[in-house]
Amino acid sequence: MSKERYIQAKEKWAAKQKASGVTARAVASENRLPPGQKLTEKFPVLDLGVQPEIAHADWTLTLDGLVTNNTALTWEKFNSLPQVEDTSDFHCVTTWSKYDCLWSGVAFTTLYELVQPNPEAKYVYFTSYDGYSTNVLLEQCLDDDVLIATSFDGKPVTREHGGPARVIVPKLYAWKGAKFVKNITFLDQDKLGFWEIRGYSNTADPFTEDRYA
Ligand SMILES: Nc1nc2c(c(=O)[nH]1)N[C@H]1C(S)=C(S)[C@@H](COP(=O)(O)O)O[C@H]1N2
Ligand SMILES: [Mo]
C-alpha cells in the first residue's frame, strides 16, 4: 500500500521533470525571486538562541510513528545510506533569499523506503536537538529536492547552520526545514510545529507570500 503511494510520487516527479525541460523551467527562472524577498549573498543564521553541540558519537536520527520499521540511525549508519546532491534556492520568511545552495546528504525518499510508512501516514513532524519542531505534508517531503543535509557547499553543515544534519525543503519557507534534526514522526493527522503554533502559515509557499496564518 505504501508502495503505491511511493510509486505515485515518483510518477509525479517524472511528469514534473518532463515539464520542467521547457516551459516550466523558463517561467521559474524568470520569476525566481519570490515576491517581497531580497537577494542576499550572505548566509544569515536564524535560531532560537541555542545552537546545540552534538558529537557524532551522540547523534541519532529516529524515525517513528505510522511506519512499518521504527528506525534509529547512528551517524555511521546514516552516512552509509545513498547520498544525493541538490542545488536549490533558500527563502526565509524574514525576507531574505539565497540562490544556488548546494546541499548533500540523504534524500527524504530514501528514509521513506527504509521505514515504509503505513498508507494512513499523510503528515510528517520533525523535532530537533534545540527543542524546535516543524511539520510538512508527506507528499511535499517526497519531492525530489527534499533531503536531510549533512554538507553545504562541499563542507560539513556548520553548527550554526544546523549540523550535524538539517532538513531542506526548498519549495517552502525555510522555517519548514528543521536544523539539528533529531526525530521524524509519520502521522495521520497534522500537528503544528514551533512557528506554526505561533502564527506562521502552515502551508508556507514563498511564491504566494504565504507567510502568516
Ligand atoms: N532546529 C531549528 N531549525 C530551524 C530553526 C530553528 O530555530 N531551530 N529556524 C528556522 C528558520 S526560521 C530558518 S529561516 C532556517 C534558517 O537556517 P539558517 O540559520 O541556516 O539560515 O532554519 C529553520 N530551522
Ligand atoms: Mo526563517
**Domain positions in the chain:** 3-42+56-208
Does residue 21 carry a pLDDT above 90? no
Please give the distance, rounded to the nearest whole angstrom, from the Cα atom of residue 180 to the centre of ligand 2. Answer: 15
Average pLDDT score over residue span 58-68: 99
Per the rule left: phi > 0, alpha: psi between -120 and 50, beta: everything else, 36 is: left
Residue 14 pLDDT: 57
Of the listed ligands, the closest to the CA of 128 is: 1
Whether 206 is in the pocket of ligand 1, judged by its Cβ within 6 Å, is no
Asked which of 22-26, 120-124, 180-184, 192-196 is least confident by mean pLDDT, the reply is 22-26
Higher pLDDT among residues 11 and 180, named by residue = 180
Say how many CA atoms lie within 13 Å of 85 toward its Cβ: 6
Of the listed ligands, the closest to the CA of 44 is: 1
- pTM, 2 dp: 0.90
Residue 199 pLDDT: 98
| Mean pLDDT computed over every residue of the chain | 92
Please give the distance, rounded to the nearest whole angstrom, from the Cα atom of residue 213 to the centre of ligand 2. Answer: 15
Asked which of 5-9, 32-36, 122-126 is least confident by mean pLDDT, the reply is 5-9
Please give the distance, rounded to the nearest whole angstrom, from the Cα atom of residue 91 to the centre of ligand 2. Answer: 8
Q: Which three cell numbers stand for residue 56?
A: 557524532
Whether 44 is in the pocket of ligand 1, judged by its Cβ within 6 Å, is yes
Confidence of residue 24 (pLDDT cuts 50, 70, 90): very low
Average pLDDT score over residue span 30-52: 95
Q: Which amino acid is at 84?
A: V
Please give the distance, rounded to the nearest whole angstrom, from the Cα atom of residue 7 to the centre of ligand 1. Answer: 31
Does residue 163 carry a pLDDT above 50? yes
Give the CA-trace dihedral at 58, 128, 132, 32, to 10 degrees: 130
Q: What percent of the chain has pLDDT over 70?
A: 86
Cα–Cα distance for residue pair 178/181, rounded to 1 Å: 6
Please give the distance, rounded to the nearest whole angstrom, from the Cα atom of residue 201 to the centre of ligand 1. Answer: 15
Does residue 155 carry a pLDDT above 70? yes
Q: What is the pLDDT of residues 80-113, one digit of tens each?
A: 999 999 999 999 999 999 999 999 999 999 999 9
Average pLDDT score over residue span 141-170: 98
Higher pLDDT among residues 118 and 30, named by residue = 118
Does residue 4 carry a pLDDT above 90? no
Q: What backbone phi and psi angles, to 5 degrees, belong to 187?
A: -130, 160
Q: What backbone phi and psi angles, to 5 degrees, belong to 96?
A: -105, 145
Whether 196 is in the pocket of ligand 1, judged by its Cβ within 6 Å, is no
Confidence of residue 31 (pLDDT cuts 50, 70, 90): confident
Of the listed ligands, the closest to the CA of 152 is: 1
**Domain 3-42+56-208 coded CATH 3.65.10.10:** no
Residues 135/196, Cβ–Cβ less than 8 Å: yes
Q: Whose CA is nearest to atom 18 of ligand 1?
A: 45
Whether 209 is in the pocket of ligand 1, judged by its Cβ within 6 Å, is no
Average pLDDT score over residue span 13-37: 62
Residues near 118 by Cβ (< 8 Å), separated by ≥ 6? Answer: 1, 2, 66, 67, 68, 186
Question: What does the H/E/C string look like for the chain?
Answer: CHHHHHHHHHHHHHHHHHHHCCHHHHHHHHCCCCCCCEECCCCCCCCCCCCCCCCHHHCEEEEEECECCCEEEEHHHHHHCCCEEEEEEEECCCCEEEEEEEEEEEEHHHHHHHHCECCCCCEEEEEECCCCEEEEEHHHHCCCCCEEEEEECCEECCCCCCCCCEEECCCCCHHHCCCCEEEEEEECCCCCCHHHHCCECCCCCHHHCCCEC
Q: Whose CA is nearest to atom 17 of ligand 1?
A: 46
Does residue 1 carry a pLDDT above 50? no
